[in-house]
Amino acid sequence: MGIFRPLGGEVTVWIDAPPSEVWALVSDVTRIGEFSPETFEARWTRGSTGPEVGATFKGHVKRNGVGPTYWTGCTVTRCEPEQVFEFSVGTDAMTVNNWGYRLLPRDGGTDVTEYYRLEPSLLLRGYWMVLGALRGRTNERGMRTTLERMKAVLEK
């Protein structure tokens, strides 16, 4: 693959819970602070109250779990109950990246894949070429932590 790394990544964890229960958790952005090592809270904004395409929310992020700390705007871009929940991160004028969850029923439970992909702008391609391997590993550790924490709650 050389210096050309995919502009994203994903992690899959099997959870012993039906897709309906997993969906209720992954699509409730107000609970992300219980699970994510970076995003410690989120709230619906602009009159949005739940998951639907076009709904907006803000996530309060502590980058790499240590800082800096900032709020980031998000917009739900895919919302297929019990299948896919995806949102873009950025401003109304520019999307920086996209995060999501794919759910697939398997063996009485659910394979849950958390994923991200950066927008293919020249600036982000340059960033990814320089820091992609490091940030990719950080993101994958964070996604695994998030999914394992969700698994612990759902399998109680």
Q: What is the pLDDT of residue 92?
A: 85
Q: What is the pLDDT of residues 31-75, one digit of tens each?
A: 999 999 999 999 999 999 999 999 999 999 987 777 789 999 999
Set out the domains of the chain in order of their start, with CATH numbers.
Answer: 8-154 (3.30.530.20)
Q: What is the pLDDT of residue 91?
A: 87
Q: Which residue has the tokens 């998030």?
A: 146
Q: What is the pLDDT of residues 105-120, one digit of tens each?
A: 999 999 999 999 887 7
Sheet strands side by side (includes 8-15): 8-15, 109-118, 95-106, 84-90, 69-80, 56-62, 39-45
- State pTM to two decimals: 0.89
Question: In the numeric block, which tokens belong to residue 105?
Answer: 């029923």
Q: Say how many C-beta atoms besides its own lie within 10 A of residue 8's C-beta.
A: 16
Residue 89: closest CA among 69, 72, 101: 72
